[in-house]
Chains A and B, each alone.
Chain A
Amino acid sequence: MNYLWQWVWPPGLWANSDVRTAFFIGTSVAIAGAVVGVFVIIRGQAFSGHALGDVGATGAAGAYLIGVSALWGFLAAGFSSGIAMESLGDRVRERDIATGVVLAFMLGLSALLLYFISTSTGTAGAPIAILFGSLFTVNPAITPEVFALTALAIVIIALIYRPLLFSSVTAEVARVRGVSTRLLGLMFMVALVIAVEESALVVGALLSTALLIGPAASAVQVTRKPTSAIFLAVLIALGQIWLGIILAYDSFLWPPVDRGWPVSFFITSLALLTYLTMRLGTSISRHRRSRRPRTTSTSSLVASDAQGGTLT
């Protein structure tokens, strides 16, 4: 029992200032990602979220070159491409290929900037940190900024909660009722960019999807109600990030090298595992239920839209 406790709460965990920073920043980022992520799933914007994370790498690399914190680089790139994406409108099929080609170009640009960084420093440390994240090396000085950004994202979601949910589920009806979907889309984009780029800071530009849609997708498997989905997603996200940090801290004693395993690896694996478990669980319980006479649930709000949410 004592052994188990040592594993769950290893000695010296809280005394380590890097770990404390990681806990504070990780907690804040996980909450923003989970809250916004639920709407990303409902609105079927997983591809936008994914693309915004990738694009962030270019900004972070540029920020590194001019000596600014990576967070601002992530945010600058995220906001400019997020607004561009939003103004492209809804011409679905064409937009997909166009987004893809532009996304590829932005990644190419980040290849160039990261190449400059690695040739000037002679190591892959900074590029790897931008692409794959390193929660333990985040500068503690930006903690207040991260808290403020999370608060901003949550305030935006709280302000537009009802109309956003309404327009996400039935855009046409909302438009008829006089909801400005344009403005809503733009405001949601701001919250989305904050959530994605904060995740990119924690788990890296390439892996930000894990914190954005991982917990939300798992939560949506279990509950159909948006409010409970949000709460469940936050719980799952916090569990993931805390467990990820503890495992990464434990892994300093693990083979093959006593350098520790990357915390991003734990977080992404936990995200996938949670999702698969939830999905398996619901499909088993659905299978059981389908033997009984069917009761149609009227509140399959989230479910019907998650179905339409495609990345292509």
Chain B
Amino acid sequence: MSSGSVLGFLFPPGIFTLAFMQNAWVAGTAVAVVSGIVGFFVVLRGSSFVAHAVPRGSFAGAAGAVLIGQSTLLGLAVFALMSSLGIAVMRRGRENTVATALVLVAALGLGDFFLSIGNVYAPEVFSLLFGQIVGISRQQVFWVLVISLIIVVVVAFAYRPLLAQSVTPETAQVRGLRPRLIDAIFLVLVSAAATATVPVAGALLSFSLMVGPAAAASLLARRPATAMALGVGMAALSLWIALWLSYVTSWPIGFFVSSVCLLAYVLARLSMMRRQGHGKVLGSLEGAPL
């Protein structure tokens, strides 16, 4: 195989020059970065159910927005916020998760209703559920970048309190941090990340981008900041690989995102087991200095 054909295989024509692919690269990278950042806190707090429920709840918003001819992102944002608000309110009761699951299912049922009323075309349904790289417009890229920037700024300001409250809630409260407020910030962050991620990776699989790389990174890194950086890097790499595969095969990107994320997680588990096998004691994040 000549070097030309290798390059031709790695960079098939149009992968960087087609307008929709340029949109996909920019939006995809932004989405991966925020998924890595928010995913770090999701894993640390053990809130994977929230990360699972919020993007799904937002699906109804996207379907409803298509129905009334509004921007999908707006619908996603409204329903993501409503889902996380619902979770926050229900959490006070004792059977929080049962209630959350029922709200989530009802939201999906509402999405089904919008779809059937609106006569939405098959490709549109698919891109909402499983992500599709062709569907991202220039305008959506702009808003994805804005949302991502907001997330990064919020995390930069709230990093310490978020970390402290996530790792040791009791001490954090003693130190005068307001747990309600920090919970609210966390939920808003997850909603914002879901709004940005769903158009790219789909409502059903945004979860894997948020949890997979961050979980893998938390196994490998000892310090919180390293874990977050590693998670961001792995999320970006996973998304780039998935984008490339999706372009080459024209299969839905969500499939590749979830496969690559599973692979990253399995590899991290294996390498952790090998290291433990060599007698090294792994420092967990919980013992790390803040």
Contacts and interface: CB of A to CB of B under 8 A. Distances in A.
Chain B associates with chain A: yes
Interface in B109-124: 109-110, 112-113, 115-117, 119-122
A265 B211 contact: no
Interface in B126-140: 126, 129-130
Interface stretch (B24-32, B94-102, B170-178): B94-102
Contacts of A118: 122, 126
Given A105-B208, A128-B115, A213 B101 contact: yes
Interface in B157-216: 202, 204-205, 207-208, 211-212, 215
A127 interface: yes
B227 interface: no
Contact of A47 (B49, B106, B205, B265): B49
A108 B122 contact: no
A198 B86 CA distance: 28
Nearest to B208: A104
Interface string A203-231: 11011011001100100000000000000
A233 B10 CA distance: 57
B86 to A, nearest CB: 10
A202 interface: no
B111 to A, nearest CB: 8
Interface residues of A, number: 58
Main secondary structure of the interface of B (DSSP, over half): helix
Given A115-B252, A209-B102, A210-B102, A264 B109 contact: yes
A100 B109 contact: no
A185 interface: no
A102 B262 CA distance: 7
Contact of A279 (B99, B106, B121, B125): B99
Interface of B: 43, 46-49, 52, 56, 93-106, 108-110, 112-113, 115-117, 119-122, 125-126, 129-130, 202, 204-205, 207-208, 211-212, 215, 251-252, 254-259, 261-262, 265
16 contacts: A97-B211, A100-B207, A101-B211, A101-B215, A104-B261, A105-B258, A109-B255, A111-B130, A112-B252, A118-B122, A132-B108, A209-B101, A214-B105, A262-B112, A265-B116, A268-B105
Given A111-B130, A114-B126, A307-B94, 4 more contacts: A96-B48, A100-B207, A267-B109, A268-B108
